[in-house]
Structure 1
Amino acid sequence: MKKGNPWALIPFVVFLVLFIGAGVITGDFYIFPVIVAIAISSAVAIAMNRKEPFAKKVEIFCQGAGNSNVMLMVVIFLLAGAFSSVAKGMGAVDSAVNLALSFVPQNLLIVGLFIIACFISLSMGTSVGTIVALAPIGVGISEQTDFAVALVMGAIIGGAMFGDNLSFISDTTITAVRSQGAEMKDKFKVNFWIVLPAAIVTSIILGWITLGETAQVEHLSYSWIKIVPYILVIVLALIGINVFLVLALGIVLAGAVGLADGSYHIMNLIETIGEGMAGMYEMAFLAILIAGMVEVIKFNGGIDFLLQLATRKIKSKKGVEFSIAGLVGVTDLSTANNTIAILITGPLAKKIAEQYGIEPRKTASLLDIFSCSIQGLLPYGAQLLVAASIAGISPVSILQYAFYPILIGISGICAILVGYPRKKKSFN
């Protein structure tokens, strides 16, 4: 390892000053376009190190941006966006929500909302999309009962973060897996058994808090066939089918269902696919720009400095895992975006993990769990802001009911302490 250079981290500082500074000054942490902040920071990274020719620094940036893992990530982002958009457009989300609500006991509606949010977010791969779909239903339930609207929103946000952390088409999962070189199904299995206790305990807490309360939900229509594309994607991904094929089959099946029931005609199906891909353009370009910037920072010695700093007092693998968890958590606090937090800390986490022999499936899980835990607790994060806006309340009021985000953080800590998962014998 070459000597670290703390000055090489200036582009990170520039990004945080631009992004957080604009948020503090205006009160809106999303007013400064994150892609512009990253572009400016990338320019600063390239401008540094005057000893190297400008053309060489640009070449280094492009090599990082065009890394095969980054390009794979970009293509998966686009396919995931297309599948999510096509499935939603033909009514899969509405059918899944209505089906679940039809089977939920009236005295367990809040627990049911949490579980429904878990399934929808696991299927859609987006926590914000899940909140947008379920929050209006939650507000209606709150109006019919004595349940505080903040409690209802807390249950929905918890379920939304469940899928954000686990879904095969979630941008956080894709980023965590690709940045660590892990297999999607391996990461899912490790991650699932870590967060399952958190989901169970959350359900128990919500059931206890709402004990004795009931609300009437009118008869809702749904179609089993519209839910099949979601189930197909989840099952095929768990089996271990290549994610490209899984998403392509999901798009074809969702599109076929939409054409068969009249939700789509050929041309507007194609338009919906295009719109879904377009919705992921910003995330795709963020991945490319951040990868290029990190490569230049790495060349200038910044990553080595962080690596030396992060591992200076580490004496065990557990210490390494806590360092990775802390790094991604602090980055998420700074950026208010768990995907960007993983994109930024992923390369460093991979280097640390390789140095101490930690499996990619474990580091991918750590990155995803702790970034989602922090994200679900940020009053200036997109999830709480969207829910609070729909419910007409302060995002801070929801925090007292943020059971699941807190519990997945605790579950992640417990997994580190007990050494789960055990190392595979085949891992080198």
Structure 2
Amino acid sequence: MMSTSFLHPCLRRMLSDRGGNFGIMTAIMAPVLLGAAGLAIDYSNMALSQRQLQESTDSAALAAATALASGKVADEAAAKTLAKDFVVGQMTNYAGTASASAIRNATNVDITTSTSSTSKSYSVTVATSYRLGLTPFMNLLGHSTIDISTTSSTTSGTSQTRSALSMELVLDQSGSMGYDTNTCAQYKKNGTTCKTYVVKIDALKQASASLFDALDKADPQHTLVRTGVISYSNGLLRDWTNKVTSVSAMDWGTTKSRDYVTTLSPDGGTDATEPMQLADDTIKKNANSTDAESVAHQKKGNSKVDRFIILMTDGEMTGNSNTWNKDKDQSVRDKCDAAKTDGITLFTVAFMAPDKGKSLLQYCASPGGNYYEAETMEKLVADFESIAQTATKAATLLTN
């Protein structure tokens, strides 16, 4: 009988041999390791793509809202197109042009417009998604793509931060305002020779009407603009009881001021001292904002009020004489200085005035091109319109 004892050591060595275990374990762990590597790579790609997509929708929403607020696009449809173009334009830099159509189709833009009496705002929301291809490693786990989505919202608009205004018109109705201008009112039958000319006071009425029209256009609801008129010859006009009759008190809008100007008739000398003092006293702001104009505007919710005086003359300061009076001229200059010190902006208009009258009004005008000089009715009308536009432009600030 053959002995088998010699096999025992061989069997023990075979059973205790660990050679080949690494290969077996590698074979078992390979899919897991490859999946983990793929997951790490794809996670990094997803994070990058998510950030790129978020930046694209953020930029698109902001661009669309800003374009609407600034008027760079005509309507909401154009703003939506702009937003989609923005997303596609940015994402094709990362995802390639082949993805452009899919990204555009997946992008939705919602716009909400909010309007109030003083503002208009646009809320824009941009939402999109993008199918990101995964690495081959993830295919082993059954995933070839993943959807990434983002949403961005922003609001932009125009807020008409309006500072309201109070304006006093200080208008010359002295005797010289009855003189003719060089504008023909009526021609003779031959059509070339002027029969009658427009007189200065009528030119002033037309110019004032153009100013009132511009103010009404800027403030159709009459909640921001207050106007008043003080007319003068040798100071304020008074009746036989010494009651002042040449003032149309400050009021909302222009109706009362407009009506008063139509009643003006030329008479007397020229001295603007008293009316300038009254205009300053009427509209200047006091330290506690308890003056009449501040209180009136506060009731309408107007916290900021610009104050203006328009001083107009066709002559020079003579008082009741026909000769320029140096003291009266200086007195008016002093009143102009006081009004400026009180924070009032002075517009001055010299209408067919002599040199001393022009010199006075040049001095009185606030800096910045607020002196106007008209030698014709047409220029006077244009100047008054310009004053209204300047005043209302200062009173409206658009903020995004």
TM-score between both structures, scaled by the size of structure 1? 0.21
Between the two structures, name the one with larger relative contact order (CA 8 Å, sep ≥ 6). Answer: 1
Higher strand share: 2
Higher helix share: 1
Higher-Rg member (1/2): 2
TM-score between both structures, scaled by the size of structure 2? 0.22
